[in-house]
């Protein structure tokens, strides 16, 4: 097969490209230029798309003897990931830009361009597994997306936005390997990136200061911080940047009556208020989501699933129901803390990714029943 290997300049994508070549495929390396003003050098383990990263990717491609290209997708990345991130926060939601990048850039724009150019698919350095039909682990008779064998590096959560068609043309060669093994393999192959630090956090916020980034992007208006009873307990300089579950940086002028810490339990961008309350108010067991994305057929009726609401969070057992119109209702067997609108809920059956949705709201089942 003819495969585009997405090469970020890091160790994972380097080994992924090498493994696809070893498997006998015709491989072309592609580095995505996603920044409109790429820095020359990395300043830390944060960020991506520096000129240094492009050079690292090119050197790996040269060592492998494969063609290498840089594809400029900076305008689409700005519109579909960065601008979306800012708009979601301005609307009081907490987005995950890595999911949006996978959904709209790496496995939409990149994959579509690759297929249009006659390639059979795209390979990346994500830690996840593809299970083919006929494999004993395959339960659907279709190509399946599964968790990686290394739970510490598993990235199936941020791939939960892939639909069945995208999955059919995607390869993840690292899913059966741990990160130390990948670094050792890279060193044995003579890759200079073998010891390169992993990038982390939000790639387009290189200094890691998300609130500072948002403050520069969204006009902030001072407003009130309220308690659960609607009493004013403090002020904020702008509701943007506050997230459900946040404890630090509240600067409340009135302590709670019981003296216990308070957390952000809701934000209202229209009223420009932030509501704080006891830790117990963060626990929910009923999640509603929209923008459903299914890695296979849409589930019919209630299905038993494991639900994960953070990239490296715990999986919670529950029942999911798809409404057939892009909505999902997930009832959890036990409460989970700090679920915010805009986060993704990714659904699993065993290690298989069933699909995902973007959380619109969450509550407690008893409260929901009492309100009906």
Give the separation between CA 351 and CA 361, rounded to whole angstroms: 26
Q: Which residues of 192-212 are buried (b: 16+ CB within 10 A; e: fewer)?
A: ebbebeebebbbbbbeeeebe
**Which SS3 state, helix, strand or coil, does residue 82 take?**
helix
Residue 127 tokens, joined: 């830690």
CA–CA separation, 107 and 171 (whole Å): 11
The catalytic position among 48, 49, 98, 203 is 203
Q: Is 88 helix (H, G, I), strand (E, B) or coil?
A: helix
Whole-angstrom distance, CA of residue 170 vs CA of residue 129 = 10
Contacts of residue 319, defined as CB under 8 A and 6 or more positions apart, other chains included, come to: 302, 303, 304, 305, 330, 331
> What is the number of alpha carbons within 13 Å of residue 134 lying toward its C-beta?
1
d(CA 334, CA 284): 8
Rg (CA), the chain: 22
Half-sphere exposure of 164 (CA within 13 A, CB side): 10
Is 203 a known active-site residue?
yes
Alpha-carbon span 20 to 76, nearest angstrom: 27
Give the helix, strand, coil percentages of the chain, each rounded to 5.
30, 30, 45
d(CA 147, CA 312): 12
Question: Is residue 295 annotated as part of the catalytic site, yes or no?
Answer: no
Q: Residue 199: how many CA atoms within 13 Å on its side-chain side?
A: 24
Do residues 88 and 109 lie in contact, with contact meaning Cβ atoms separated by under 8 Å?
no
Compute the C-alpha angle 30/33/34, nearest 5°: 130
CA distance 304 to 137: 18
- Partners of 284 in the β-ladder: 336
Which residues are catalytically annotated?
101, 203
């Amino acid at each position: 097969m003819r495969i585009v290997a997405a090469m970020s300049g890091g160790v994972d994508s380097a080994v992924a490209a090498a493994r696809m070549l070893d498997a006998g495929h015709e491989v072309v390396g592609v580095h995505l230029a996603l920044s409109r003003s790429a820095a020359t050098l990395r300043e830390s383990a944060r960020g991506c798309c520096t000129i240094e990263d492009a050079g690292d990717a090119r050197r790996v491609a040269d060592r492998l003897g494969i063609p290498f290209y840089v594809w400029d997708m900076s305008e689409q990345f700005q519109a579909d990931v960065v601008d979306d991130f800012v708009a979601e926060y301005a609307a009081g939601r907490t987005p995950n830009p890595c999911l949006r990048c996978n959904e709209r850039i790496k496995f939409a724009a990149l994959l579509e361009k690759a297929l249009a150019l006659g390639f059979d698919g795209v390979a990346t350095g994500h830690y996840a597994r593809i299970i083919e039909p006929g494999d004993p682990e395959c339960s659907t008779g279709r190509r399946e997306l599964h968790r990686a064998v290394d739970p510490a590096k598993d990235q199936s959560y941020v791939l939960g936005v892939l639909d069945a068609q995208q999955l059919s043309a995607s390869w993840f060669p690292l899913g059966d390997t741990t990160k130390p093994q990948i670094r050792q393999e890279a060193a044995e192959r003579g890759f200079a990136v073998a010891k390169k630090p992993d990038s982390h956090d939000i790639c387009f916020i290189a200094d890691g200061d998300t609130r500072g980034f948002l403050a520069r992007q969204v006009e902030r208006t001072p407003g009130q911080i309220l308690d659960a009873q609607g009493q004013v307990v403090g002020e904020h300089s702008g509701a943007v940047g506050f997230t459900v579950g946040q404890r630090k940086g509240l600067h409340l002028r009135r302590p709670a009556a019981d003296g216990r810490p308070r957390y952000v339990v809701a934000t209202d961008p229209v009223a420009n208020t932030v509501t704080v309350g006891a830790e117990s108010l963060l626990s929910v067991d009923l999640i509603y989501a929209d923008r459903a994305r299914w890695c296979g057929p849409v589930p019919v009726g209630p299905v038993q699933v494991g639900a994960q609401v953070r990239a490296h969070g715990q999986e919670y057992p529950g029942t999911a129901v798809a409404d057939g119109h892009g909505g999902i209702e997930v009832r959890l067997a036990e409460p989970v803390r700090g679920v915010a609108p805009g986060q993704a809920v990714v659904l699993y059956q065993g290690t298989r990714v069933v699909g995902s949705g973007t959380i619109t709201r969450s509550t407690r089942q008893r409260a929901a029943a009492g309100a009906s």
